[in-house]
Amino acid sequence: MSAETENPPAEAKPEVKSPPPKPAPKKPEAAPVELPAFEKSISDKLVEKFGDKVEVGFVKEDRVRINVGREDVHDVAEFIRDELNYDHVESVSGVDYPQDNEIEVVYHIGSYTESSLARQILVLATRAQRETNPIPGNDATKLPTLRDVFYSVEFHEREVFEMFGVFFDGHPDNRRLLLPEDWADLPPLRKDFAIKGR
């Protein structure tokens, strides 16, 4: 689905005295370069459990990205919480892709309780159908909510709803959060909402 694979070649280096060991992000399919072992084991567990339903976006040091279809995202999130011991969501970001006619919602999931996961962020990405003429809440741009899995997404999902028009099915409180109550324009972080004068 997503193509975030390539690593910018670290050229144009200055006279560096002692370069710290820089994590080199790897292409998942470019075989011989070794992937970070611990991160690989996390993604392996997910692939083993869900097979074709999950796609590994990348495996970098401290970051693992998983792309999931919208119908499986709830099951995968439950597995992440119960089996992999992640316990909170740091950030929920929408990203609008008009060329794919999709809106991506990215969950950055971390763990406080499991000390081996303290550095780790699991990036769980899913995509919702995008409407050309959105009616937020009443069109096909919908995703299942993860509020019952991770309580911490509550305000983040409300923000994604108003900024991108992605309605979260089952969210207890799908109200506006930051925008004014009488906002009647497009959801403002969609790419087709243009800033005046730009």
Partner 1 sequence: MTFTLPPGLALQKVDERIMTLNVGPQHPGSGHMRIIVQIDGDYIVACDPDPGYVHRGEEKMAEYRNYITNIPHLERPVIHDSCNVLYPYVLGAEELLGIEVPERAKYVRVIASELNRCIYIMYWLAIYGIFLGHSTMFMWPAGDRELLIDLMEKMTGARVTHAHFVPGGVRNDLPPNFEDVCLRQVNYFEKRIKEYAAVFYDNPILISRTKDTGILSRQDAIRYGTTGSVLRASGVDYDLRVKEPYDVYDELDVHTNVMKEGDSYARSRVPWLDMMESCNIIRQALQKMPKSGSVRVKLKPNPKTKGLESVYKRVESGRGSLGCYIVSDAKPEPYRVKMSVPSFRNLIALPNLLKGEKLGNMPSVYWSLNYWPVEADR
Token pair of 163 as six digits? 């900024």
Question: CA nearest 171: which of 135, 150, 136, 144?
Answer: 144
User: Which two tokens mark 92?
Assistant: 């929920």
- Residue ranges of the alpha helices (H) in the chain? 37-50, 73-82, 154-164
Looking at 105, 106, 143, 146, which residue binds partner 1 (CB under 8 A)?
106
- At position 40, the amino acid (one-letter code) is K
Query: 68 exposed, middle or buried (CB, 10 Å; 0-12, 13-18, 19+)?
Result: buried
Query: Of the two residues 93 and 129, which places its CB atom closer to partner 1 in the complex?
Result: 93
Output 36 or 49, the one with its CB closest to partner 1.
36
- Kindly tell me which of 49 and 88 has the beta carbon lying closer to partner 1: 88
Cβ distance to partner 1 smaller for residue 17 or 34: 17
- Write the interaction track for partner 1 spanning residues 6-25; mark x where CB under 8 A is met and - where it is not: x-xxxxxxxxxxxx--x---
Give which of 129, 97, 109, 100 is closest to 46, Cα–Cα: 109
Identity of the residue, 32 or 172, whose beta carbon is nearer to partner 1 in the bound complex:
172
**What part of residues 107-166 is at the interface with partner 1 (CB under 8 A)?**
108, 112-113, 118-119, 121, 123, 136-138, 150-152, 154-156, 159
Separation CA 89–CA 77 (nearest Å) = 10
Q: Give the helix/strand (H/E) hosting 3.
A: none
By CB under 8 A, name the binding residues for partner 1: 2-6, 8-19, 22, 62-63, 65, 87-91, 93, 95-96, 106, 108, 112-113, 118-119, 121, 123, 136-138, 150-152, 154-156, 159, 167, 174-180, 188-189, 193, 195, 198
